Amino acid sequence: MSNRRDFLRKAGVATVAGAGALAAPAIAKAQNTIRWRFQTYAGAALGEHVTKPIIDAINTAAKGELHIDLYYADQIVPTSELFRALQAGTIDAVHSDDDSMASPAEVATFGGYFPLATKQILDVPVLFKQYGLADIWREAYRKVGGVVWLAASGQDPCHFVTKKPIRSLADLHGLRLYTFPTAGRFLGQFGVVPVSIPYEDAQVAVQTGELDGMCWCGITESYTVGWADVTDHFLINNISGAWIGSFFVNEKKWAELPPHLKSLLMTAIEAGNNYRDQWYWGGEAKLRAGGDKLKLTSVPMAEWKTVEDAAKTFWKEIAQQSETAAKVVKIFEDYNAVIEKAGAPYVFG
């Protein structure tokens, strides 16, 4: 009997140990999942289109090896603090433009909406992949340190969405607008008063009269995030044909990521960039043609030429800031000369 009890006791210990050994791989996998905190510049409504599809694709394809928790505008830190938080490791990755996240990189001025540098959404991937901006951006962030630039994409053009109609440059004077830092600096010469507030507060600020509108996006975004519900007019003249936004990651986190997960992440980003190309491009046309919330207005092109000429002067001023800035401006000049010579459909009018 004693031998039998001893046998059963040992068998029980072996069974428990065996069960633990069989379960170990699953436990180890859960413990080894790489988790990132990712914040986008976009609020929840817009983020559903511009960022969330990419994060969802990564989380699905990574099969537990990498899981990214997505946060929308200002949920962890204000947008203007995104770069420092990313560099410090408070956030692991970011989707934003360089300008509004207060990047210290030499290229920061050109992120977001650099005045009249682009005509339409496809200009951005062409500039980065065919005209060398990708190499310049990559090197600029290598110099800063702590942050790796991954990829840039184009989005919607930048228009005025306001309570009152704009039909001349004189109508811009005194307008309190939510806009980007560089765009606000440029528009100040026409009497625009740039207002800096959290992204999610912009709609309420129009309702309370703190803002007269936005110069932040195109018509697709205005309808998507609810700004078309509190404004009345959309100026078809834009101050830039496409937003330049990028994906960034903390340098240490990127170095620790296995090559196959880096490849997966870049593939998902590229797919997301392609999705936004068609979502914005189709939306801009559809809502201008059939949208029922915003009345379209325009400034005569002869008068708007004043803005275009001012942009060229602005470019020259920025080009003097550094050798890198001069290189970027030269690329914009060369590219715009090419599309002007090519004519429609590369340029309109």
**Tens of pLDDT along the chain (349 residues)?**
444 445 444 444 444 344 344 444 443 444 589 999 999 999 999 999 999 999 999 999 999 999 999 999 999 999 999 999 999 999 999 999 999 999 999 999 999 999 999 999 999 999 999 999 999 999 999 999 999 999 999 999 999 999 999 999 999 999 999 999 999 999 999 999 999 999 999 999 999 999 999 999 999 999 999 999 999 999 999 999 999 999 999 999 999 999 999 999 999 999 999 999 999 999 999 999 999 999 999 999 999 999 999 999 999 999 999 999 999 999 999 999 999 999 988 886 5
> Is 35 in contact with 93 (CB distance < 8 Å)?
no
d(CA 113, CA 120): 12
Sheet with 295-297, strands from edge to edge, namely: 193-195, 176-179, 213-217, 158-162, 233-240, 295-297
Check the CA dihedral 241-57-53-32 and report its sign: negative
d(CA 56, CA 271): 12
CA proximity to 116, closest of 285, 309, 346:
309
Give the chain's domains with CATH numbers: 34-155+243-284 (3.40.190.170), 158-240+293-342 (3.40.190.170)
Beta bridge partners of 238: 159
Predicted TM-score of the model (pTM): 0.89
> Is 278 in contact with 122 (CB distance < 8 Å)?
no
